[in-house]
Structure 1
Amino acid sequence: MMSLVTFTRNNALPLLRTSITVRIQLNSASLSSLVRLEEKQGYAVVAMHKPPVNSLSLEMIQALSESLSELEKNKCKGFILTSACPGIFSAGLDIREMYQPTEERLKEFWSSLQTLWLQLYGSKMASVALINGHAPAGGCLLAMCCDSRIMVNGKSKIGLNETKLGIVAPFWFKDTFVNTIGVRQSERALQLGSLFTPDEALKIGLVDRVLPDPEAATAVAESELKEFLQIPAMARYLSKMRIREAALKDLLENREKDLNTFVNFATTDAVQKGLGIYLQSLAKKN
């Protein structure tokens, strides 16, 4: 049975003097089945659990939004964002949401993604991404929204590779990338759709630490989060906003325009053809 969850939250952006109204429609079991939320002493672990690759479908995006809202309601100070699926952090946006969609669902999908980014990138909570597997495209975006990124070494890669599917990363993806690795690295990587190994990601500042195994990475992620939590919360948050405020404000002021741009672009014949070819290639692999 579907239930409608509506809540209004302060966007934790005192500098922007604004609020976000989030309208979420999810299955009553979505939160527990798609996101494993474990509250620990002083912080929480938010683990994506949508096998096999934690693709960001509409329901997954909304479950993540609701998880963040739940933590805020419980006055949680910080969280670790990770995956409960071995070998994958998140494969990014679910391509099936964009291929031959209904306009209504496509708009809800993109609007929900906008909301999740605003929540995560502008959160007052301290956050650490524990990247325990591949993190292309939307998976990379989620990781970059966190205050620190810890990645497990191995064959996993991370980056914004949208151009390889014939898709252009929206301006707020770009802004997040630039704020993380700088203008020149972002310009080149966005054009080429580059995916980086853990060591390459560390070199350009896309991740902050690379650890040899999940156990070591988990320990460091916990230690890193506790270091953030030792700083007076408002001073830490306002300092973060000095970097992120402009990007957040840009999307807040241009949500409808960005939504229309995405819908118009995603439904063009060229993009639909490219997505169809990509989905066919995935089917052949399976």
Structure 2
Amino acid sequence: MCSLAKQGKVYILTLVGNDDHRFNPTTLDAICDALKQVEQSPDVAALVTTNAGKYFSNGLDLRWIAESPSDRLDIIRDKFENMLAAFMRVGVPTVAAICGHAAAGGFMLALAHDYRFMTQGRSVLYLSELDHGMLFPRSLMALIRSKLQPAARRDLVLGARKLSAQMGLERGILDGVFQDSAETLQAAVKAAEKLAGRGWKREIYSGLRLGAFPGVVEELDAHADPYLFHHALSKL
């Protein structure tokens, strides 16, 4: 699940617990409810998303999907895409403090933020779909195209490479790398506070973000392309 704490003009959304923070309807609804609270708080001007434990997020809850794929794939698609769209629409600057592995949908959550900081060490950025026999729907590929340079996109999508924090920084995916989780979160909050201090109008910020990354939210809202799992579910 998640928690939401206010620190001055910054909200800190934390994916809590020591599991791998998989996305299912319960977790996705909780995150979206937190984003609504951010939107409804006029005195908050920036958002930091972070995690407890060794995972930022390991993506979709494949075990939950496998219990009834024909019924649950559409549910998880709609809710996951709605969550990503909500991050792209929220009217305040967003900073991801990635204090652990960010894989598959967890990496996409990080990409939906405006800025990304990460902890050094063994944690990786990883799009696991190729290794797991899964195709990206066009909505998620739109997000990936909008946030990753071609060489990084090739390595992650067509090579399923696991990138360290330093590699992510060198490829322009990350904006900063720090020694440990505490330093990463501290830097993210400091950056968020600086952004919050600018006093930007929410509707202007949100509109400029949508213009800077055109077509992404429209694809996410359309829910037009199904998730295709070739052998990922059969391995569970």
Say whether the fold is shared (TM-score over 0.5).
yes
Shift of 1:165: 0.2
Structure 2 residue corresponding to 1:249, chosen from 202, 218, 223: 218
CA distance in 2, matches of 1:129, 1:114: 18
Shift of 1:153: 0.5
* Secondary structure of 1:119 counterpart: helix
* Secondary structure of 1:89 counterpart: strand
Shift of 1:192: 1.6
Shift of 1:182: 1.6
Shift of 1:100: 4.2
Q: Is the 8 A contact 1:58 1:109 kept in 2?
A: yes
Shift of 1:121: 1.7
Structure 2 residue corresponding to 1:45, chosen from 7, 12, 37: 12
* Secondary structure of 1:69 counterpart: helix
Aligned runs of 1:1-286 on 2, under 5 Å? Answer: 34-75=1-42, 76-84=44-52, 86-101=53-68, 103-234=70-201, 235-252=204-221, 254-255=222-223, 257-258=224-225, 261-262=226-227, 265-266=228-229, 271=230, 273-277=231-235, 279=236
CA distance in 2, matches of 1:231, 1:129: 19
CA distance in 1, matches of 2:97, 2:162: 18
Letter of the 1:88 partner, please give it.
Y
Letter of the 2:170 partner, please give it.
K
Alignment length, in residue pairs? 233
Q: Is the 8 A contact 2:124 2:165 kept in 1?
A: yes
Runs of at least 4 residues off by over 6 Å: none
Identify which range, 93-102 or 199-208, moves more after superposition: 93-102
Letter of the 2:156 partner, please give it.
A
TM-score normalized with structure 2 length: 0.91
* Secondary structure of 2:60 counterpart: coil
Q: Deviations over 1:82-121 (max 9, x none)?
A: 112x211111111113324153333222111111011012
* Secondary structure of 2:66 counterpart: coil
Letter of the 1:113 partner, please give it.
F
TM-score normalized with structure 1 length: 0.76
* Secondary structure of 1:233 counterpart: coil
Runs of 5+ unmatched residues, structure 1: 1-33, 280-286
Pick closer, same or farther for the CA change 1:231–1:179 going to 2, 3 Å: farther
RMSD across aligned positions (CA) = 1.8
The higher relative CO (CA closer than 8 Å, separation ≥ 6) is in 2
* Secondary structure of 2:190 counterpart: helix
* Secondary structure of 1:45 counterpart: strand
Shift of 1:203: 0.6
Q: Deviations over 1:53-96 (max 9, x none)?
A: 11112211111111111221223322110112x21111111111
Greater Cα radius of gyration, structure 1 or 2: 1
Q: Deviations over 1:141-181 (max 9, x none)?
A: 11111111110100000122211100012223222222222
CA distance in 2, matches of 1:188, 1:133: 20
